[in-house]
Amino acid sequence: MSQSHLPVLNDIPSSIAELLDEEECWEFNILELEAATHKRPLSYLGLKIFSAFGVCEFLNCTEATLRSWLQVIEANYHASNSYHNSTHAADVLHATAYFLRKDRVKGSLDQLDEVAALLAATVHDVDHPGRTNSFLCNAGSDLAILYNDTAVLESHHAALAFQLTVRDSKCNIFKNMERTQFRTLRQAIIDMVLATEMTRHFEHVNKFVNSINKPMSSEGSDCEGQASIRNSPENRLLIKRMLIKCADVANPCRPLELCIEWAGRISEEYFAQTDEEKRQGLPVVMPVFDQNTCSIPKSQISFIDYFITDMFDAWDAFASLPGLMEHLAENYKYWKNLDEMKCKSLRPPPPPCPS
């Protein structure tokens, strides 16, 4: 891309710009970007990806407005969360962009869908308190009461994202949009953020398999038949939901070192919740995530078996992601190997020193 198309990136430190050059690659190291940007990876990665997808042109907003928006959204992620911070949002945005560039995904969605997916990924966990929906409901938190114990966090992420956006003209990326197009975009963003709620995981995956994978495989090599299956509005909705769901939990499909780091971060956040539940006499929602007894390899194996394998098999059958599936198999083997060694930690113990 010519520099003239990327004026927004012209005042970015060269060390950060060099890291961002690898952004189209699945093996992109988001943790290096986190360090280089002093924990502001979302703003920098967002500028790069939104520029590549022509988001400003689509929204009819300036790059200055987009930059302000990214900074406001990123500032409302909690850097104090070990997992649900702006690096996770940047990671999900990266995976979302990677999926949107896959031929079959590209051929199924229009630009509004793409922009909705990128915006939804950016905001999907904004102001996450580092506690689960179950915890918030059990604790009788303000948010749980506001949202009637239903999709509490996801409703909050979506609602707050729009509140933060329209509150100040300086960061209102939607201010120049035509009303009907804004309504459509808004609905698509809300739908995708709400789809990240795990209580409806199997429903979303099964709908995708039954409405998209199965009909497309029975169509055989009839491209037009396949395209007509993909491109109905209802099925585009299912594709967008599946896309953000997979992006949100893609950690086990990342290179091993990244996979291990993310596993450590989510475990730390869950340990902190269990500790707080015990201190406050609340029900312990995830008893396996007890600092004193937890096997991290076992928890990862269970997560992959229960949620990840079937969903990524279905997404891979649609989008064709051989690299991800190789990482997933390698990472699964890594956790299995640790578990067979009865190792409960993230890494194997160092070999004993020769005496």
Domain boundaries of the chain, sorted by first residue? 14-341
84 is in an annotated binding site: yes
Provide the 10 A C-beta neighbour count for residue 14.
7
How far is it, in rounded angstroms, from Cα 186 to Cα 120?
10
Q: Looking at residue 100, what is its pLDDT? A: 98
The per-residue pLDDT string of the chain (355 residues; one tens digit each, 9 = 90 and over) reads: 444 344 456 688 999 999 999 999 999 999 999 999 999 999 999 999 999 999 999 999 999 999 999 999 999 999 999 999 999 999 999 999 999 999 999 999 999 999 999 999 999 999 999 999 999 999 999 999 999 999 999 999 999 999 999 999 999 999 999 999 999 999 999 999 999 999 999 999 999 999 999 888 886 656 777 777 667 899 999 999 999 999 999 999 999 999 999 999 999 999 999 999 999 999 999 999 999 999 999 999 999 999 999 999 999 999 999 999 999 999 999 999 999 999 999 998 887 776 6
Q: Looking at residue 220, what is its pLDDT? A: 62
Considering the candidates 5, 84, 128, 201, report the single residue annotated as catalytic: 84
Q: Looking at residue 216, what is its pLDDT? A: 87
How far is it, in rounded angstroms, from Cα 88 to Cα 86?
5
How far is it, in rounded angstroms, from Cα 340 to Cα 332?
12
Residue range 14-341 forms a domain whose CATH class is mainly alpha
242 burial level (CB within 10 Å; 0-12, 13-18, 19+): buried
**Residue 247 Ramachandran class (φ > 0 left, ψ -120 to 50 alpha, else beta):** alpha
Q: What ranges in 231-321 are assigned the alpha helix state H?
A: 233-248, 256-280, 296-303, 309-319
201 is in an annotated binding site: no
300 is in an annotated binding site: yes
87 is in an annotated binding site: yes
pTM to 2 decimals?
0.95
How far is it, in rounded angstroms, from Cα 84 to Cα 126?
9
71 is in an annotated binding site: no
Q: Looking at residue 202, what is its pLDDT? A: 98
Q: Looking at residue 3, what is its pLDDT? A: 41
- Is 327 catalytic? The answer is no
Q: Looking at residue 355, what is its pLDDT? A: 61
267 is in an annotated binding site: no
